[in-house]
A and B are shown apart, each in its own frame.
Chain A
């Protein structure tokens, strides 16, 4: 079993729909990243969070440390949101430079 599991692996939506991508992890962490990778390959960091909730525009990320779970929500989805969304966890303790990634969720938003 992977240390970081994302669901779903593939997600198709119609423009305007509310989208949720989930990330579960099995190890102690110091923080969690959400990343976006467009078809061209470049990776952009969306959020880094260690507790609670963060919002940026139409994107909202939440984390529940006790349940070892995080969600990324996209409100009013748009075709330009089509990308791969990747969850990554930063190890706790003295290894906090170490990052472990989920497999990614491929999101396609149709007009």
Chain B
């Protein structure tokens, strides 16, 4: 089944403890992206990747890192999480970032930083 998977789905952690949220797609998509969703602020893009080894900042990249070493995986790394990174995170992918491409979203990861 074609899908985008995220792990973990739920995570409670403490300030400063490094964590990684994984994202994987099985559709051979070139484009992958991370978003966070917060009440009153909606969805905001954190980082995106046009292809392997190519990443770019979105609107809210501070406090996050990403890597794209292989096409199927695009992990989101929080080196030193803080309470303001408590949010609902979505990963998404599409064949390319071009004009006609539909984005496929993962199920979301709910993160609470204490």
Which residues 4-42 in B have Cβ within 8 Å of A in the complex? 31, 33, 35, 42
A96 within 8 A of partner (CB)? yes
Select which of A45, A97, A104 is within 8 A of B105 by beta carbon: A45
A contact patch SS: strand
Q: Note all chain B residues with C-beta closer than 8 A to A31.
A: 99-100
Interface readout for B77-114 with A: 1 if CB under 8 Å, 0 if not?
00000000000101010000111111111011000000
Can you list, as one digit per residue, whether each of A84-111 has a CB less than 8 Å from chain B (1) or not (0)? Answer: 0010101000011111111110000000
Q: What chain A residues lie within 8 Å of B88 (beta carbons)?
A: 41
With A31-B99, A33-B103, A42-B108 as given contacts, are A97 and B48 in contact (CB-CB < 8 Å)? yes
A97 and B56 contact, CB distance less than 8 A: yes
Whether A98 and B42, one on each chain, are in contact in the complex, defined by CB atoms closer than 8 angstroms, is no
Query: What is the CA–CA distance of A89 and B92 in the complex, to the nearest angstrom?
Result: 15
- A45 near B48 (CB under 8 angstroms)? no
Assess whether A44 is interfacial by the CB under 8 Å rule. Answer: yes
Judge if B59 is at the interface, Cβ distance under 8 Å. Answer: yes
B44 adjacent to A101 (CB under 8 Å): yes
What is the bound-complex CA distance between A48 and B99, given in angstroms? 8
Q: Is the CB of A86 within 8 A of B42?
A: yes
Cβ distance B16 to chain A, nearest Cβ, rounded Å: 27
Q: Does A50 contact B (CB under 8 A)?
A: yes
Q: Which residues of A contact B (CB under 8 A)?
A: 30-31, 33, 41-45, 48, 50, 86, 88, 90, 95-104
Apart from A90-B97, A97-B50, A99-B58, what are 18 other A-B pairs with CB-CB below 8 Å?
A: A30-B99, A31-B100, A33-B103, A41-B107, A42-B107, A43-B92, A43-B108, A45-B102, A45-B103, A45-B104, A45-B105, A48-B101, A50-B100, A88-B43, A96-B99, A98-B58, A99-B48, A101-B42
